[in-house]
């Protein structure tokens, strides 16, 4: 306890001294997110300063081993660091698929050389990564992917197409699932890393129903990849993929709890309803809407309690529990419903695309409403989630 308290004091002092003032203010736009990478531009030099200072201590990846540039913190220490960061309202020094997704996979599955090569650059934000999983013909059936990776003796040759590769047009490297054995399905997939600057790689941004998007279609034409870039065993990539997908699913589930673009700018569902519909005797003027809002709030509360219960069960050593299998499904459906309800509340003010006549908050809700439709598709569709529950949890047969 004393050691932890000491750690808290030191951390607080260090943060006070090293977190630049502008990094303690809320971001005014998503464009201010620091993603790092070879071509990173910093409108605000303090953002770069903040990144470098945090990276130097390894605190962009606080729990990774110091040997690979990480902070080497214990779970408890990291909790304190996060509390102290929140206390001063510090912006994230670095946002990175390398930290969120790839790093943990490398730590578990990569060889020593690969860890030494890639992890420190991720920590320092030098290399920005993207993830090449889905393909046009392999969505829910991800293991049906067809991007071909041939062994050409001294190198691999990659041909194929990926889709939904977030920020592929801005990333430096990609971690990618490829087919190395066409005669098998799950057991013919490998996990490969390569430089997006390699000849034959092309990324095209995808225009979405909600507008511009970070998603790309990415094409590989005779892309040569050094053989040392294979992570784990040949044809055993599915094991790594499953681990990463689980992680992605958990991130998406959290949406049921609200967050960015969830109408927070409007003060929540009930305040929005009072503002856009009016009130009578302190009640939302439309009784049926009031009832719908209550259903939404009740289900949201029940979902939050269930995530909390699951966490408490895990802490009590009772494992993640069956309840966690429904998080992705329920969280995303709940999020979609909330946006449908927000639009119902906002009437014609929730139907603007851009320009005059609508506030920034209103446009954000409308765009987020459209974007939310993807929640129940990406990271495993709701249908796939329900299949998983009925088969693995309920034991219903094929």
Partner 1 sequence: MALVLTEEQQLLRDTATQFFQERVPVANLRKLRDTKDADGFDRAVWKEMADLGFAGIMISEKYGGTDFGPVGLGLVLEQSGRTLAASPLVSTVLLCGSAVQLAGNATQRQEILPAIAAGERIMALALEEGPHHNPTRIATRATADGQAFRISGKKTFVLDGHVAGQLIVAARTGGNDNDRTGITLFLVDPKAEGVKITRTLMVDNRNAADIAFDNVAVPSTAVLGSIDGGIDVLEQVLDIARIGLSAEMLGLVQEVFDTTLAYLKERKQFGKVIGSFQALQHRMAVLFAEIELSRSVVLDALSAIEARRNDVPLVASLAKARLSDIATLMTNEGLQMHGGMGMTDQFDVGLFMKRARVAAASFGDGNFHRDRYASLEGY
Contact residues: a copy of itself, CB under 8 A: 287-288, 290-291
CB of 256 to a copy of itself, least distance (A): 24
CB of 53 to partner 1, least distance (A): 37
Cα separation, 67 vs 95, in Å, equals 21
Q: Which among partner 1, a copy of itself, none contacts residue 137 (Cβ within 5 to 8 A by kind)?
A: partner 1
Q: Which among a copy of itself, partner 1, none contacts residue 298 (Cβ within 5 to 8 A by kind)?
A: partner 1
User: For residue 60, which of 125, 129, 8, 127 has the smallest C-alpha distance?
Assistant: 125
CB of 142 to a copy of itself, least distance (A): 23
Q: Which among partner 1, a copy of itself, none contacts residue 157 (Cβ within 5 to 8 A by kind)?
A: none
Complex with partner 1: residue 211 or 226, whichever CB lies closer = 211
Complex with partner 1: residue 40 or 323, whichever CB lies closer = 323
C-beta separation of 254 from 331 below 8 A = yes
Measure Cα distances from 108 to 98, 206, 310 in Å. Answer: 14, 32, 25
Other CB atoms closer than 10 Å to residue 186's CB: what's the count?
15
Complex with partner 1: residue 21 or 397, whichever CB lies closer = 397
CB of 16 to a copy of itself, least distance (A): 53
Q: Which among partner 1, a copy of itself, none contacts residue 329 (Cβ within 5 to 8 A by kind)?
A: partner 1
Q: Which among partner 1, a copy of itself, none contacts residue 3 (Cβ within 5 to 8 A by kind)?
A: none
Complex with a copy of itself: residue 272 or 289, whichever CB lies closer = 289
Complex with a copy of itself: residue 202 or 279, whichever CB lies closer = 279
DSSP readout, 244-277?
HHHHHHHHHHGGGG--TTSSGGGTHHHHHHHHHH
CB of 107 to a copy of itself, least distance (A): 46
C-beta separation of 136 from 163 below 8 A = yes
Q: Which among a copy of itself, partner 1, none contacts residue 183 (Cβ within 5 to 8 A by kind)?
A: none
Complex with a copy of itself: residue 141 or 291, whichever CB lies closer = 291
Q: Which among partner 1, a copy of itself, none contacts residue 318 (Cβ within 5 to 8 A by kind)?
A: partner 1
User: For residue 248, which of 53, 105, 54, 44 has the smallest C-alpha distance?
Assistant: 105
CB of 300 to partner 1, least distance (A): 10
DSSP readout, 196-247?
TTSTTEEEEEPPBTTBS-S-EEEEEEEEEEEGGGEESSTTBHHHHHHHHHHH
C-beta separation of 169 from 213 below 8 A = no
CB of 211 to partner 1, least distance (A): 8
Complex with a copy of itself: residue 144 or 287, whichever CB lies closer = 287
User: For residue 176, which of 224, 229, 222, 121 has the smallest C-alpha distance?
Assistant: 229
Q: What angle do CA 135, 136, 139 make, to 5 degrees?
A: 65
CB of 128 to partner 1, least distance (A): 23
Kindly report the backbone phi and psi dihedral angles of residue 253, in degrees, each rounded to the nearest multiple of 5, phi listed first: -55, -35
User: For residue 125, which of 167, 159, 172, 161 has the smallest C-alpha distance?
Assistant: 172
Complex with partner 1: residue 197 or 260, whichever CB lies closer = 260
User: For residue 93, which of 27, 37, 48, 29 has the smallest C-alpha distance?
Assistant: 48
Complex with partner 1: residue 50 or 327, whichever CB lies closer = 327
Q: Which among a copy of itself, partner 1, none contacts residue 351 (Cβ within 5 to 8 A by kind)?
A: partner 1
CB of 291 to partner 1, least distance (A): 6
Cα separation, 16 vs 166, in Å, equals 34
């Amino acid at each position: 306890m004393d050691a932890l308290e000491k750690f808290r004091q030191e951390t607080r002092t260090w943060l006070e001294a090293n977190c630049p003032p502008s990094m303690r203010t809320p971001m005014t736009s998503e464009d201010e997110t620091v993603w790092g990478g070879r071509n990173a531009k910093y409108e605000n030099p303090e953002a770069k300063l903040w990144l470098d200072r945090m990276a130097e201590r390894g605190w962009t990846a606080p729990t990774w081993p110091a040997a690979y540039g990480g902070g080497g913190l214990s779970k408890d220490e990291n909790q304190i660091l996060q509390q102290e960061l929140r206390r001063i309202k510090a912006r994230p020094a670095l946002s990175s698929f390398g930290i969120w997704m790839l790093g943990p996979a490398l730590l578990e599955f990569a060889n020593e050389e690969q860890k030494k090569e890639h992890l420190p650059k991720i920590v320092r934000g030098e290399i920005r990564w993207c993830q090449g999983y889905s393909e046009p013909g392999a969505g829910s059936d991800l293991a049906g992917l067809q991007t071909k990776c041939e062994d050409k003796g001294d190198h691999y040759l990659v041909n194929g197409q990926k889709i939904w590769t977030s920020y592929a047009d801005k990333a430096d490297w990609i971690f990618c699932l490829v087919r190395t054995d066409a005669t098998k399905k799950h057991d013919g997939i490998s996990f490969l890393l390569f430089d997006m600057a390699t000849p034959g790689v092309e990324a095209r941004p995808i225009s979405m129903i909600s507008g511009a998007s970070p998603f790309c279609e990415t094409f590989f034409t005779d892309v040569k990849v050094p053989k040392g870039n294979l992570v784990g065993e040949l044809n055993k990539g599915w094991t790594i993929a499953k681990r990463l997908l689980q992680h992605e699913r958990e991130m998406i589930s959290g949406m049921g709890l609200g967050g960015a673009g969830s109408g927070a700018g409007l003060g929540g569902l009930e305040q929005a309803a009072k503002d856009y519909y009016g009130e009578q005797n302190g009640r939302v003027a439309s009784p049926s809407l009031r009832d719908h809002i209550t259903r939404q709030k009740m289900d949201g509360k029940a979902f939050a309690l269930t995530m909390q219960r699951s966490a408490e069960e895990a802490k009590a050593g009772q494992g993640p529990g069956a309840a966690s299998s429904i998080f992705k499904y329920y969280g995303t459906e709940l999020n979609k419903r909330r946006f449908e309800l927000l639009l119902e509340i906002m009437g014609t003010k929730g139907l603007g695309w851009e320009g005059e006549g609508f506030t920034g908050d209103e446009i954000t809700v409308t765009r987020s409403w459209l974007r939310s439709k993807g929640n129940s598709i990406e990271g495993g569709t709701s249908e796939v989630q329900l299949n998983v529950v009925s088969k693995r949890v309920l034991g219903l047969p094929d």
